[in-house]
């Protein structure tokens, strides 16, 4: 029997510390994924907390057709999608309003942030399923089987989403003259 399922059974039987063990086991990797999805520490922490609250309140409806981890990731990703969509509507600050000091360390940091920003913008330009698949595969190092479970699709679909997402990223960077950034 899966360790998570045993903890769920203990929690349902009245052992309140069993759910704490589930939180401790899954919070760091899930927070890491959420942070990469929303690029904001506070938003990632809020989504993480909401995901565990939803899991806690809905644990009795967990049907065990997938692993607890897969079910928890589905909850968290759906919550993160809402934040991501809300952010798309947010106002941007014009670059002219930003003051930059003349410091080599600041310039180096800005160049690094710009490269990271280019990748994040390119990722944001992908269709949602491709973006999530690439993030789960590359950043979370999930197998295509795990990705299929999390995204509720077939393994073939998860592979196709990954392939098309990577191809689109390569095209975007090639057009921008950065074809060495995506391998």
Concatenate the DSSP letters of all residues of 145-171 into one string: HHHHHHHTS-HHHHHHHHHHHHHHHHH
pLDDT at 37 over 90: no
Cα dihedral angle (157, 67, 30, 16), rounded to 10 degrees?
160
Classify burial at 18, counting beta carbons within 10 Å of its beta carbon; exposed 0-12, middle 13-18, buried 19 or more. Answer: middle
Q: Which two tokens stand for residue 154?
A: 């077939």
Between 26 and 106, name the one with better pLDDT.
26
Sign of the Cα pseudo-torsion (73, 75, 77, 79, in order): negative
What digits encode the pLDDT tens for the residues 74-114? 999 989 888 767 666 655 555 555 444 444 555 565 555 66
- What whole-number distance in Å separates Cα of residue 88 and Cα of residue 68? 30
Q: Quick one: pLDDT band at residue 66, thresholds 50, 70, 90? A: confident
Given a cut of 50, is residue 181 above it in pLDDT? no
Among candidates 79, 73, 110, 78, which has minimal Cα distance to 95?
A: 110
Neighbours of 9 (CB within 10 A): 12
pTM: 0.61
3-state secondary structure of 100: coil
Q: Which domains does the chain have, with CATH numbers?
A: 3-88 (1.10.1740.10), 95-175 (1.10.10.10)
């Amino acid at each position: 029997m899966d360790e998570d399922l045993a903890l769920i059974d203990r929690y349902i039987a009245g052992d309140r510390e069993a759910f704490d063990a589930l939180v401790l086991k899954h919070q760091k990797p899930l927070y890491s994924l959420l942070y990469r999805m929303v690029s904001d520490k506070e938003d990632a922490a809020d989504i993480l907390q909401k995901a565990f609250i939803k899991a806690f309140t809905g644990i009795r409806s967990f049907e065990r057709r997938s692993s607890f981890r897969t079910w928890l990731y589905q909850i968290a990703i759906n919550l993160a999608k809402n934040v991501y969509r809300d952010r798309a509507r947010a106002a941007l600050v014009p670059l002219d309003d930003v003051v930059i000091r003349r410091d080599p360390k600041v310039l180096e940091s800005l160049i690094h942030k710009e490269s990271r920003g280019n990748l994040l913008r390119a990722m944001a330009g992908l269709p949602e399923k491709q973006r999530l698949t690439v993030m789960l595969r590359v950043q979370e190092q999930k197998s295509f089987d795990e990705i299929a479970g999390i995204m509720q699709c077939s393994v073939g679909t998860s592979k196709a989403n990954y392939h098309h997402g990577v191809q689109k990223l390569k095209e975007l960077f090639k057009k921008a003259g950065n074809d060495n950034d995506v391998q």
